[in-house]
Amino acid sequence: MPELPEVETICRILREGQPGIPSLLGKIIAGVQVLWPRTLANCSPDEFRERLIGQSIQVIDRRGKFLLFQLSPDTLMVHLRMSGDLLVEAVSTPLALHHRLTIDFQDGLRLSFNDARKFGRVWLSADPGEVLGSLGPEPLDPSFTALDLYQRLQTSHRQLKPLLLDQSFLAGLGNIYTDEALHLAHLHPLMPSNELTLSQAERLWRRIRQVLEEGIRRQGASIDWVYRGGDFQNYFRVYQRTGEPCPECGTPIQRLVVGQRGTHICPNCQVLQR
């Protein structure tokens, strides 16, 4: 479930609370259970537990697809990868099958990291830059302009889609939102990035932001068993719509493979030049 809009949705829920679920801000960590040790990317279960207990949550934020919990001296960083999820539940709730890590608070609530595929990772560090340092710009940050995108595209010869998925190029896009943005911008995923004109780059910039904002507004996309309550999956234009008509021209959507990822395009709206 985790691209920028889904991570942002979880971030807001944990920070601001939800009906029946309080905000986690200010909560003091009283206990930690590491159920799948490889979840911890940069420390041992013992070190993780000892450092975490007693710290409290000061700030909850997002950077790219990372969730950030700023604690007393340390920062806890969570990447959900393909199937990860974060849940707030009572300490008394039985551990679900795919729980990999639980953090108990003094008030009887716990934060549980559930991850069927075990790809998700958690970092604990006093210096978040160690983990986040190589991330590219935030696409929704006001300081990220269309000209910035154009200039970055010019510096690479790579195909558009793999480049947009590269988190050091731009932080937060994944397979769904990249396909959707490229379709909205009428750009082919295999187009060399340095061949985009300024006006094509501006179009892409606007469409990336549009699709991410819509995803956030709809609280993300919920597919299969990974569910969070968002409904953006009902508004996909091309993603997982192979054979269905393009919403703009009616041409059947095609599926191709680009950089080992399923990729969905309208062959009429997204044409590779020459």
Partner DNA sequence: CACGAGACCTGTTCGC
Partner DNA sequence: TGCGAACAGGTCTCGT
Residues serving a catalytic function are 2-3, 65, 261
Q: Closer to DNA at the Cβ: 105 or 150?
A: 150
Q: Closer to DNA at the Cβ: 225 or 274?
A: 225
Residue 14 Cβ, how far from DNA at the closest point, in Å?
17
Looking at 40, 76, 86, 221, which residue binds DNA (CB under 7 A)? 221
Residue 258's contacts (CB-CB under 8 Å, 6 or more residues apart) are 159, 161, 162, 189, 190
Taking the C-alpha atoms of residue 91 and residue 108, their distance in angstroms, rounded to an integer, is: 5
Q: Closer to DNA at the Cβ: 144 or 177?
A: 177
Interaction between residue 2 and DNA (CB under 7 A): yes
Of residues 163 through 202, those in contact with DNA by CB under 7 A are: 163, 165, 167, 174-176, 192
Taking the C-alpha atoms of residue 18 and residue 237, their distance in angstroms, rounded to an integer, is: 30
Which stretch in 21-29, 52-60, 87-95, 254-262 sits in contact with DNA by CB under 7 A? 254-262
Residue 53 Cβ, how far from DNA at the closest point, in Å?
26
Interaction between residue 273 and DNA (CB under 7 A): no
Interaction between residue 260 and DNA (CB under 7 A): yes
Taking the C-alpha atoms of residue 178 and residue 246, their distance in angstroms, rounded to an integer, is: 16
| Sheet hosting strand 59-63, strand order edge to edge | 59-63, 66-70, 75-79, 121-125
Looking at 142, 224, 243, 273, which residue binds DNA (CB under 7 A)? 224
Q: Closer to DNA at the Cβ: 111 or 189?
A: 189
Taking the C-alpha atoms of residue 234 and residue 221, their distance in angstroms, rounded to an integer, is: 8
The angle at the Cα of 170, spanning 138 to 206, to the nearest 5 degrees, equals 70
Q: Closer to DNA at the Cβ: 109 or 190?
A: 190
Beta strands in the chain (DSSP E): 29-34, 59-63, 66-70, 75-79, 84-90, 99-105, 109-115, 121-125, 254-258, 261-265
Residues of the shown chain interacting with DNA in the complex, contacts defined by CB under 7 A: 1-3, 6, 38, 64-65, 79, 81-83, 97-98, 116-119, 156-159, 162-163, 165, 167, 174-176, 192, 220-226, 230, 233, 258-262
